[in-house]
Structures are given as C-alpha cells and as structure tokens.
C-alpha cells in the first residue's frame, strides 16, 4: 500500500491523480491533501479519500475547512511550513508535486530532501533551482516527471539512462507542442486576444495560468529548461516541434537515426498512472489510442515571431544561474495581470523581455539567492505592468 501526498489537490493534476487512485484502492492510500483557497472542493475530496492531514493557504481557509470537516479525523493546518511537513512526513511514500508556480518550490524541495518518490508536475522547482533540486534528488530521492512531454521522453529513453551528453547514443530530445489556440491565427490580431480565448486550449483541459502559458508557448519554454535538468541535455540538443494533434507527446532521437516516441490520447491520467506505478503499469481510465482514426499527424517548426516567449526561455537557459528564476517570476506576474485584464496578451512577452534586459542575474548557489531573484523580478514586473496599465 503506497501512501500518497498530493500538493495542489484541487487543480487539474490533483483531480486527475485522485481519479487514478480511486481506481486502485487496494494499492494506494491518501495521506495528505493540500489546496490554496478552494476549501469546498478540498472538503469534498477529504470526505471521499479520508486523508490524515489537509493543508490550505491561510488561517481563514483552515477555519472554514475545519468547520466543513467537523466529525472527520482530519488534521487541518495552513501555510508553507505545513506544506513542507506533509511533503517530508515519515507517513508518506510518494508526493505528487502539483502546486502551480513558485509557491510549490519549498514543499517539493522538502520532499526531495526527505528521500520521497517525487512525481513532478511543478516544473518551477527545476526552472528556478535546477541544480539545487537535482542535487537533492540524487542524494536520496526518486524523481519521475509528470508533464506529458517529459514523461514521454522518460519512457523513450533506455532504462538506467545517465544524465550525460551523448549517453546511450542520445542525439537530441524532441519536445512536442500543440501550438495552443493561436497557432493559425494572424499574428497581427494577437494584440486583441482575451483571457477567455487564451484559456481555450484545443486539446488539453488545464488551469487558467498554464492555459495562458500554452497560448504564449512559455509553458514549452519552461519545459525546455526542465528537460535540460531532467535529462542533462544542453540547449542545442533540445528541439521544440509543433504537433497540433497532441498524439505524440515527445520523442528521443538517437545517433543511429532512430527516433523513439510515446503516443497516447491527450489525457494527463496516462503519465500520472505511469509514474505512480513505475516500473509497473496500472489502468488509468484513459481510452486506448485508435491509430486508424488518425487522419494525419503534422509537425512544424515554431515561429518565434508568434511565440517570442519560447525564444526568451532558451535565452534564459543559456544564460544560466538565476536567469530562469527571473523569467519564471516575471511570467507569473505578467500572466496574472493579463488574466485580470490590466495588460494585453502581447504585453506578456514585452514585460518578460524588459525584466530580462533590465535586471542582472547571478549564481543560483542556494535557495536564498533564488528566492531573492524571484522577489526582485516580481517587483520589476509589477512596476512594468503598472506603467503599461497607466499608458
């Protein structure tokens, strides 16, 4: 019986994880669930899965959750320290790290340092502090990627793959991207994009922030940085390929000319089930892929004029140090401002470029340096957003 903690239980990854767990009650037991502010949804999950602990973002949310769970033996707490406690607890074996953004960094790092099996859906842990996080993993933890692209790469690499350039004859990693909702929209019309349009992904059901990141392809840019740390691939050995059908989730190209790919229907329960059961397999609830129904599989090179955020991510990866943390923080502020209609869609990449150009970055030697850069970048981005909103 594997004991599971889910950080970010009410988000799309958390909900999908609980759906898979519910199909295998004889193999998995929920130890703890967390949510930031969706108290009603978390209470419903607690009533169904009966965790020992539940963590929310504030004292007020904790009081409300306690009221909703009256009579149930669930220990309710709140705040970052409590998140780190449930992630590192001796009572949990596996941690699903699915908190979106920088808020997930501390508890995910705590899980790695405690030697847990970490199922990584929070890409920011690697984007912000790649070397620190991978050092913690190598000491004692097990790390399995949940992003469909990185999980596909993991499945397409040989068992026991060493994170070294050219290991096992790997020539290149090919990250596929759907292109989002604006792949074929005229570039000159993107200034007028609304939050509702940006959140309408053609293939995937995701939260609002990650949906906007998919529309700008910043999500793919963050995945490029994540792939660098997960698989030891230099920027020139990572290629992004537009694949609108989202059937091939990513590929690995080998020096002998072979290309291995992982295919499946676009449903996050597939990589979640793979990581939960690894190295075995369990049913995920996802329908089998019917290749006879695939009329065509298309592939294109990304257009950086349409997707400048992708180019910025490659720039940050090449710069190294705290540059990726700076980029990630600025993006979180810019996307939030767009969703609140304070800036336009194309202002997102303008904010990021200015923050990158106007703020120095340094070494990511410790978590304090990373978080200090994160704070500086957020304030710089807020100032730029405010100036745009006033214009």
What pLDDT, on a 0 to 100 scale, did the predictor assign at position 166? 65
Point out which residues pair with 4 in neighbouring strands. Answer: 30, 94
pLDDT value of residue 168:
82
Give residue 236's pLDDT: 94
**pLDDT tens across the length of the chain (391 residues):** 999 999 999 999 999 999 999 999 999 999 999 999 999 999 999 999 999 999 999 999 999 999 999 999 999 999 999 999 999 999 999 999 999 878 888 999 999 999 999 999 988 889 988 988 898 888 888 999 999 999 999 999 987 776 665 678 899 999 999 999 999 999 999 999 999 999 987 777 678 898 999 999 999 999 999 999 999 999 999 999 999 998 999 999 999 999 999 999 999 999 999 999 999 999 999 999 999 988 889 999 999 999 999 999 999 999 999 999 999 999 999 999 999 999 999 999 999 999 999 998 888 888 888 999 999 999 999 999 999 998 8
Per residue in 306-348, pLDDT (tens digit) is 999 999 999 999 999 999 999 999 999 999 999 999 999 999 9
Residue 97, token pair as written in the block: 């790290």
Instruction: Please choose, from the candidates 317, 307, 298, 304, the residue with its C-alpha nearest in 3D space to the C-alpha of residue 230.
Output: 317
Over residues 192-244, the pLDDT tens digits come to 999 999 998 777 767 889 899 999 999 999 999 999 999 999 999 999 999 99
pLDDT of residue 76: 98
User: If DSSP codes are grouped into helix, strand and coil, which group holds residue 168?
Assistant: helix
**pLDDT value at position 162?**
62
At 362 the pLDDT is: 86
Residue whose structure tokens are 């958390």:
14
Report whether 98 contacts 144 (CB < 8 A): no
Supply the pLDDT for residue 160: 72
Domains of the chain (ranges plus CATH)? 2-145 (3.40.50.720), 154-293 (no CATH), 320-390 (1.10.1740.10)
CA atoms of 286 and 350, how far apart (whole Å): 39
End-to-end CA distance of the chain: 58
In sequence order, which residues have a C-beta less than 8 Å from that of residue 364 and are 6 or more positions away?
Answer: 128, 129, 130, 131, 132, 321, 322, 325, 370, 373
Give the C-alpha separation, 120 to 150, whole Å. Answer: 10
Handedness of CA 232, 233, 235, 238 (dihedral sign): negative
- What does the pLDDT read at residue 165? 58
């Amino acid at each position: 019986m594997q004991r599971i903690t889910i950080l970010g239980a009410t988000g799309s990854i958390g909900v999908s994880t609980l759906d898979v767990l519910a199909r295998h009650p004889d193999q998995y037991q929920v130890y703890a669930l967390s949510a930031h502010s969706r108290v009603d949804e978390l209470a419903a999950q607690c009533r169904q899965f009966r965790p020992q602990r539940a963590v929310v973002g504030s004292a007020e949310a904790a009081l409300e959750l306690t009221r909703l769970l009256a009579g149930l033996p669930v220990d309710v707490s709140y705040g970052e320290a409590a998140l780190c406690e449930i992630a590192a607890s001796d009572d949990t074996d596996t941690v699903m790290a699915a908190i979106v953004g920088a808020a997930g960094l501390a508890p995910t790092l705590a899980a790695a340092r405690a030697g847990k099996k970490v199922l990584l859906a929070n890409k920011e842990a690697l984007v912000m502090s790649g070397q620190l996080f991978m050092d913690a993993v190598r000491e004692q933890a097990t790390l399995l990627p949940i992003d469909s692209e990185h999980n596909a790469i993991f499945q397409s690499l040989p068992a026991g793959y060493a994170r070294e350039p050219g290991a096992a004859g790997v020539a290149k990693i090919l990250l596929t991207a759907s292109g989002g909702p604006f792949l074929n929209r005229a570039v000159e019309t993107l200034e007028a994009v609304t939050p509702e349009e940006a959140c309408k992904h053609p293939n995937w059901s995701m939260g609002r922030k990650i949906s906007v990141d998919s529309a700008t392809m910043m999500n793919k840019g963050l995945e490029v940085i994540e792939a660098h740390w997960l698989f030891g691939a230099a920027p020139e050995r990572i290629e992004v390929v537009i694949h609108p059908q989202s059937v091939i989730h990513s590929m690995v190209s080998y020096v002998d000319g072979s290309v291995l790919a992982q295919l499946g229907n676009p449903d996050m329960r597939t990589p979640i089930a793979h990581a939960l059961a690894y190295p075995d397999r369990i049913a995920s609830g996802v329908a089998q892929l019917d290749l006879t129904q695939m009329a065509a599989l298309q592939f294109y090179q990304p257009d950086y004029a349409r997707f400048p955020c992708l180019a910025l991510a490659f720039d940050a990866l090449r710069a190294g140090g705290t540059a990726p943390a700076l980029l990630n923080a600025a993006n979180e502020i810019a996307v939030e401002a767009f969703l609140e209609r304070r800036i336009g869609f194309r202002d997102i990449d303008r904010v990021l470029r200015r923050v990158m150009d106007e703020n120095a970055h340094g070494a990511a030697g410790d978590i304090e340096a990373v978080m200090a850069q994160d704070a500086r970048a957020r304030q710089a981005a807020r100032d730029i957003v405010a100036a745009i909103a006033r214009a």
